[in-house]
Each structure stands twice: as C-alpha cells, then as structure tokens.
A and B are shown apart, each in its own frame.
Chain A
Amino acid sequence: MNDLLNQIQLVGEWLTSSAQWHGDDGIPHRLAEHLTYSGLSLLFATVIGLAFGLLVGHTGRGAFAVATVANLARAIPTFGLVVLVVTLAGLSTAPVLVALVALAVPPILINTFEGVRGVDPDARDAAKGMGMTGWEVLLKVEVPMALPLILLGLRVAAIQVVATATVAAYPGLGGLGRYIVDGLSRNDYQLVIGGSAVVVALALVVQAVFTALRRAVVSPGLRPAAAKS
C-alpha cells in the first residue's frame, strides 16, 4: 500500500514538474504526436474497413476471404511488424502509419461484415417490400442495425492502434511511448511510470469515448434491455 502511494507520488511529481509541459519532449507535444498517428491510421482504417465490410456484408460475396484475412491478421505480432517496417523503410512516419492501418483494418472489417450479415432477414425483406433500393436498405436498415458491432470493431481497432503507437517508440518514433522507452534506457523509473500513467489515462479516455458513442448513436430499439421487454 505504501509502495502504491509512493508510485502515485512519483507520477504526481513528474506530472507537475514544469519541464513536462514544454518543448518537444513535453506531454502536449508527445500527446499530439500520439493522437496524430492513432487518429490518422484509425481514419484510413475506418474508411477501408467500413467500405469492404459493408460491401461484403451486403452482397454476401467474399465472406470466406474476409474471415481468413481477419484470422491471419490477429496472429501478426504488432511489435514485429512495426520494427520490421522501420528496419526496411527507415525511420519515418508514413511507413509506420501504413503498418498501423494494416493492424486496424481487420477488426473494423470483420465486425462490420458480421454486423451487416447478422441483420434479421425479415427486416431486410420488409425494407425491400416497402420499395427501398439496395442503397436504402444498406443505409437505413443494415447499417443502423449493425451499428453496435461496427462500434465494437472501431473500439478494438482504436485500442490496438493506441497500444501499438506506444510500442512504436521503441524503433524511434515519437508519441507517448517515448517516455517509457527513454526511461527504460536511462534507468529513470519516474519517467517510465509517469509515461505509463499518461498512456493509461489516454486508454481510459478512448474507452470512455466509445462507451459514450455507443449510448449516443445506437438506436434505442437495439439496446439489450429494450429488446427483451
């Protein structure tokens, strides 16, 4: 217990020292870097994953390919991929972004696909019977009903991207992982634990954002409690 208080005190000291809030190694700059890598790669991955997921889910063609890609992708060690990309392409942001996108696409793709695929066929038939076109069925029926799974995919992708962007500090990229990697190499425990605290805080914010998003955009008719009553 005492030790936990010590750790919290260490983190507190680190966070409040003014050096942490200025310059290239300050928290605002590192956080901005981290959010840039994560945000950009998540954006690209969302565009790709949603487009293919909706296409395959709606048409039902290529389902096997999607499942295979998702399975293989889960087995890729993110750390190995990022380090490999830096070794082959040199230390710059673009190749690492490509690696992050590659990691974030599969969870979005497979969940979007499963979500659209799992839409009640009766609902789809009813929509067609009402005279909706293919696009209308997709956008007004399938997407809203698949939304909980689509958001789950986005959340898993976001968590993975934020975590991998942290690890990307090891081969020399910026972002919040820098504190942990630099602290380890300098044997500076305060830097390590301070950096970890900021990373944990960011992860919790990401988690909270997705919980709030789910509440805000998922149709009330799809919430588990409402469905049962």
Chain B
Amino acid sequence: MRDGEPLIRWVWIGDHVGELAHYTGVHLRLGLLPVLFGLIISVPLGMLCHRYRWVYPPTLTAANVLYSIPSLALFMIFVRYTGLTERTVMIPLTLYTLSVLIPNVVDGLASVPDPVRQAATAMGFSTVRRVVQVELPIAVPVVVAGVRVAAVSSISLVAVGQLIGQGGLGYYITRGLQLDFPTPIITATVLIMLLALVTDALLVLAQRLLTPWARGKGAKA
C-alpha cells in the first residue's frame, strides 16, 4: 500500500454507487442461482437416497469429493467447455452445494415421524401425494438449514470467479490489487459479507413463512 493511503476513501464509494449496485446484482445471480439449481438436483436425489439407502453412501462420497476440489481448479476444468462465461462459475458452485443439500434433504425426510407417514397412507394418500404434501413440508426446516449454509458459502466463493473474469463484486478485489488501492477491496469484501448475512436472514424468514405450524413451538423453545 502507498504511504499515506487511507484504508477507506469514502469518496470512492460515493462515486461508484451505481457501478457497485450493478456488480452486487451480478454477484447475487452468480451466487444464488447455483443454490437453486443445487436444490433442484438435491431434492429428487435426496428422495432417492432416502428410499433406497444403498444409493446414499456412494452419492454422498461423490458429493464430498467434488466439494473437496478447490474452486480455482474446478473453474479451469470447465473453462475448456463453457468458456469464460458465467456458466463456468455457476456449474462448480452448483456442484459444491450438493455436499450440504443432499444430506440435509435425506436427514429432513428421515425426521418425518413414522406415525405421520402411516396416518397419511391410512387417509388414502398416494405415495407421490404423501411425499409432496406431507413429508417434504415436514423436512423443510432441515432442508432450509442446508440451504442457508450453501447460500452463504456460495456467495462468498463467487469472488474467486474473477480469475476467469466472472466474479461479481470480485471485480473490485482484483482491481484493488492491481491499483494497490485498498478501498475497493474492503468495500467488496464487506458487501459480499453483508449479502451473505442478509440472504441468511431472509432464508430464516422464508422458513418461518413456509412452516407456520412450527412457529408456536419455536417461540417457546
């Protein structure tokens, strides 16, 4: 850092509000769409693992192995196929969410009390209707807990995508390093943390709206 350079030049932030808002939007898209895709993959896969237990260990191992691969390396492997596009960032981020989402879908389904399942069957629910109307809603709290972890880590990982030119707010992190200018780096880092924490809070709120029956219990506990 240059001598006499302050940690933050507030003027810079004021001058870049519009641009910052634009990159914040991009960042949210890059971070949250993978969570949505991950959920679309994990719910059926988790249901499959719940029904056929032998599918679960190999699926979980595969998801954990994918999760262990550093994002930078995984981006590079996909660059060959999807180029320097947003897809190259979103596909690996989607794969990362699986190691959190699949076990949470399975645990969520396992948390459905057996009497409830039997009652639904006795009331004449078909298997599909029982899963959709009874088991999945009961699994929501556990699934949302997974979605929260996935969303927060996904949002903070997006920045690495800047090394292939698609990092949302990560743009300011590399820019700040090139210019030896800490203000954009700090601004972007703090904004990314805020995005993650606000998303987390919104997911908690969403869970309360999705599971109104749990509210009374939650308040007491």
Interface residue ranges, A against B (CB under 8 Å): 3, 7, 71-72, 74-81, 83-84, 86-88, 90, 159, 162-163, 166-167, 170-171, 177, 180-181, 184, 189, 192-193, 195-197, 199-200, 203-204, 206-207
Inside 8 A of B186's CB, which chain A residues have their CB? 84
**Could you tell me the distance in whole angstroms from the C-beta of B131 to the nearest C-beta in chain A?**
24
B68 touches A77 (CB 8 A): no
- Taking the complex as formed, is B24 at the interface, i.e. its CB lies under 8 A from any CB of chain A? no
Whole-angstrom CA separation of A166 from B181 in the bound complex: 23
The 8 closest A-B pairs by CB, nearest first: A80-B189, A163-B70, A75-B196, A196-B73, A199-B73, A77-B156, A79-B159, A196-B76
Decide if A71 touches B77 in the complex (CB within 8 Å).
no
Residue numbers in A under 8 Å from B182 (CB-CB): 84, 87-88
Q: Taking the complex as formed, is B19 at the interface, i.e. its CB lies under 8 A from any CB of chain A?
A: no
CB distance from A215 to the nearest CB of B (A): 13
Query: Majority SS of interface residues in chain B?
Result: helix
Q: Considering the chains assembled together, what is the distance between the CA atoms of A7 and B156 in angstroms? A: 30
In chain B, positions 129-143 with a C-beta closer than 8 Å to chain A are none
Check if B162 sits within 8 Å of A79, measured CB to CB. Answer: yes
| Stretch in B38-46, B168-176, B210-218 touching the partner | B168-176
> A206: which B residues are within 8 A, CB to CB?
68
Closest residue on chain B to residue A185 by CB atoms: B163
Contacts of B152 in A (CB 8 A): 71, 74-75
Most chain B CB neighbours (cut-off 10 Å) among A71, A79, A81, A88: A79
Which residues from chain A contact B76 at a C-beta distance below 8 Å?
A: 180, 192-193, 195-196
Contact between chains at B180 and A199 (CB < 8 Å): no
Given known pairs A162-B70, A193-B77, the reply for A167 and B176 (CB within 8 Å) is: no
Pair B73/A166 contact, Cβ less than 8 Å: yes
Q: Which residues of B contact A180 (CB under 8 A)?
A: 72-73, 76, 163
Cβ–Cβ contact A79 & B65, under 8 A: no
For the complex, give the distance between the alpha carbons of A107 and B103 in Å: 18
21 sampled A-B residue pairs with Cβ under 8 A:
A72-B193, A75-B200, A76-B156, A79-B167, A80-B159, A80-B189, A83-B173, A83-B174, A88-B182, A162-B70, A166-B70, A167-B71, A167-B72, A177-B72, A180-B163, A184-B163, A193-B77, A196-B74, A203-B73, A204-B68, A207-B65
Whether, in the assembled complex, B1 has its beta carbon less than 8 Å from a beta carbon of chain A, the answer is yes
Let me know if A80 and B185 touch, CB within 8 A.
yes
* Contact among B1, B81, B160 with A88 in the assembled complex (CB-CB below 8 Å): B1
Q: Which of chain A's residues have a CB closer than 8 A to the CB of B77?
A: 193, 196, 200
A-B contact sample (18 more), CB < 8 A, given A87-B180, A170-B174? A75-B155, A75-B156, A75-B197, A76-B189, A77-B157, A79-B160, A79-B167, A80-B189, A83-B185, A84-B182, A84-B189, A87-B182, A159-B68, A162-B70, A163-B72, A170-B177, A192-B76, A203-B69
Interface residues of B in 41-87 (CB under 8 A from A): 64-65, 67-74, 76-77, 79-81
Determine whether B153 belongs to the interface, using a CB cutoff of 8 Å to chain A.
yes
Query: How far, in whole Å, are A159 and B153 apart by their CA atoms in the complex?
Result: 13
Query: Is there a chain A Cβ closer than 8 Å to B192's Cβ?
Result: yes
Q: How far is the CA of A195 from the CA of B79 in the complex (A)?
A: 14
Nearest Cβ on chain B to A51's Cβ, whole angstroms:
25
Q: Provide the bound-state CA to CA distance between A83 and B163, in Å.
A: 12
B149 at interface, CB cutoff 8 A? yes
- Roughly how many angstroms separate A192 CA and B193 CA in the complex, as a whole number? 30
Chain A, residue nearest B192 (CB): A77
Q: Please indicate the chain B residues that have their CB under 8 angstroms from the CB of A162 in the complex.
A: 70
Residues of chain B within 8 A of A163, CB atoms compared: 70-72
Q: Please name all residues of chain A whose beta carbon is closer than 8 Å to the beta carbon of B155 when the two chains form the complex.
A: 75, 77
The distance from the CB of A64 to the nearest CB of chain B, in whole angstroms, is 15
